[in-house]
Amino acid sequence: MTDAGVDAGLARILIVEDETIIARDLASTLVELGYAVAGMATSGEVAVVMARALLPDLVLMDIRLAGPLDGIGAAVQINGEREVPIIFLTSHADRDTLRRAALSAPLGYVLKPFEAAGLRCAIEIALYRHVIDARLREREQWLTTTLRSISDGVVATDASERVTLVNAVAEALTGWTQAEAVGLELDGILTLIDETTARAVENPVRLALRERGTTPVQHDALVGRTGQRVAVDDRAAPILDDAGRLLGGVMVLRDVSEQRRIQAEVRRLNAELEKRVVERTHQLEAANKELEAFSYSVAHDLRAPLRHIDGFSQILLEDHVAGLAPEALGHLARIRTSIKRMGQLIDDLLRLARIARRDLVVRSVDVSELASEIIAELRASEPERQVDVRIARDIRVDGDEHLLRIVVENLLRNAWKYTARTAAARIELSTEQRDGARVWFVRDNGAGFAMAHAERLFGAFQRLHPATDFEGNGVGLAIVQRIVNRHGGRIWADAAVDCGATFFIAM
Ligand SMILES: Nc1ncnc2c1ncn2[C@@H]1O[C@H](COP(=O)(O)OP(=O)(O)OP(=O)(O)O)[C@@H](O)[C@H]1O
Ligand SMILES: [Mg+2]
């Protein structure tokens, strides 16, 4: 018995027997067997008092005792005060007596007349079981206390899904106390539903029992005793013994209502923001359209009076030149230059406005090919210029071919123009990876510009070089940027004075 922590030699035994001869016989046998006799009682009442006073390790109890309290009654009282292993002594084991005796959970029976070997066996087994039981109770206590004090809800069931444990958190979540819930079907104390459809979902314990494995975390709502709903994350695991037999299941529930409320709030805010962005975009688009339409019609209407001025100044020049003083002729020439310039500006404005009015026809466009054509035109127009042009092959971009041609043309024309005064002029069109996205670019080694002025580049009629150095109206890049924007892309530049410029497009 050292195994169970009890030294047989020291076990102190209380004998309860109303027949003196048997009692004495028992006492001497016990001593012979190496036990100590703690005391001898002859009635149930005395046995209860002696057990309380002497704290024996074991009680040998005759079932039939004279007096109001028989052995069974005394055993119940003694065990009610302190857990002591009790062995019943009985001379005739009738069914009824045995059944009643069983209710007081004795740890053994010894039939009278007893014999030493049988008595010893019964005592050893009883002592051993008592220690084991105490340890089991201790562990159970420990487990129960742990489970009850953790911050997640825990519900355990037996193999047929009957509740065996409900911890404090689960009591609060379900509205059932452990005492009420034990023995009920799990489905009887809580229902899990899908939060959005409100349809009942299978409780994870059933799944865990069926699959004999831990279930993944489910995001549900728990409906408790009074119909209250709580958002929970739940999962379950089967409880298996060493032999792999199913003992039951355990479910863990975590109240996530606050978390879900915050998530829902974030979703709502995002949706609202999205809606507002869409609204603002619509408003902006509408305002833009209106502005385009306005500038288009203004530019268009300006043409007629300009044509008149042009026509009549032409008549003056052709028919009345004789009547004009040389100074007047000089003025007239200036007027005509301005008329030409204004005509140009109106054309540019109309071009700019047209970009926004055009519907996009998007398909895969071979930008390399467009570029080659444009360079060929440029070379034909200025055959005397020597420019080293490199165009990467097969640059394909999804977009409107007509508009993309305008983009490539403006960028290449600029590169061509702003390298006019550069020895060994070089122009390159290629692609590269930037921040994980493919961008294409046009690079030259021409005049360049100071990055400090870069934000003006794409404004209409904005120029960074004087017309005396390089001709132009300052509309090209404004058109390019509009086209890129309409494709949902982005354009930016990198340059330095006299070191050339690069225009990047991400689209
Ligand atoms: N490749 C380049 N190298 C140096 N400067 C450039 C280059 N491309 C554009 N710029 C600068 O940006 C300004 C705006 O360019 P944009 O193409 O809009 O106008 P432009 O070429 O002057 O006239 P337009 O294109 O209307 O004939 C130019 O005036 C020039 O100062
Ligand atoms: Mg230009």
Q: What's 185's domain CATH number? A: 3.30.450.20
CATH of the domain at 77: 3.40.50.2300
Q: Ligand 1 centre from 454 Cα, in Å?
A: 11
- Same domain membership, residue 18 and residue 117: yes
Q: Is 446 in the pocket of ligand 1 (CB under 6 A)?
A: yes
Q: How far is CA 231 from the centre of its chain?
A: 16
Same domain for 18 and 142, yes or no, is yes
Residues 54 and 116 in one domain: yes
Residues 105 and 217 in one domain: no
Q: Which range of residues forms the domain containing residue 132?
A: 2-146
**Does residue 388 lie in a domain region?**
yes
**CA–CA separation, 493 and 204 (whole Å):** 59
Is the domain of 11 the same as that of 63?
A: yes
Q: Looking at the domain assignment, is residue 260 inside a domain?
A: no
Cα 338–Cα 344–Cα 350 angle in degrees, nearest 5: 135
**Residues 371 and 477 both lie in one domain:** yes
Q: Is 464 in the pocket of ligand 1 (CB under 6 A)?
A: yes
- Token pair of 238, please? 């089967």
Taking CA atoms only, the protein residue closest to ligand 1 atom 17 is: 476
Spatial CB neighbours of 231, under 8 Å, sequence gap ≥ 6: 195, 219, 220, 221, 222, 255, 256, 257, 259, 260
Bridge partners, 248 (sequence order):
158, 239
Residue nearest to atom 27 of ligand 1 (CA): 472
> Model-level pTM?
0.52
| Pocket lining: 444 vs ligand 1, CB cutoff 6 Å | yes
Closest CA to 252 of 143, 156, 149: 156
Q: Whose CA is nearest to atom 29 of ligand 1?
A: 463
Kindly give the distance from the C-alpha atom of residue 182 to the centroid of ligand 1, in angstroms, as a whole number.
Answer: 84
Q: Is 350 left (phi over 0), alpha (psi -120 to 50) or beta?
A: alpha
Q: Is 327 part of any domain?
A: yes
Structural domain count of the chain? 4
Same domain, yes or no: 57 and 13: yes
Q: Please report, in tens digits, the pLDDT of each residue of the chain (507 residues total).
A: 334 444 445 899 999 999 999 999 999 999 999 999 999 999 999 999 999 999 999 999 999 898 899 999 999 999 999 989 999 998 866 777 778 777 777 788 887 888 899 999 999 999 999 999 989 989 988 987 888 788 999 999 999 999 999 999 999 999 999 999 999 999 999 999 998 899 999 999 999 999 999 999 999 999 999 998 999 999 999 999 989 999 999 999 999 999 999 999 999 999 999 999 999 988 888 888 788 888 888 888 889 999 999 999 999 999 998 998 999 999 999 999 999 989 988 888 888 888 877 788 999 999 999 999 999 999 999 999 999 999 999 999 999 999 999 999 999 999 999 999 999 999 999 999 998 899 999 999 999 999 999 989 999 889 999 989 999 989 999 999 999 999 999 999 999 999 999 999 998
What is the four-CA torsion angle of 203, 207, 213, 219, rounded to 10 degrees? -40
In short, whether 419's Cβ falls inside 6 Å of ligand 1 is: no
Instruction: Give 307 Cα–ligand 1 centroid separation in angstroms.
Output: 28
Give dist(CA 100, CA 95) in Å, integer: 9
Helix, strand, or coil (residue 80): helix
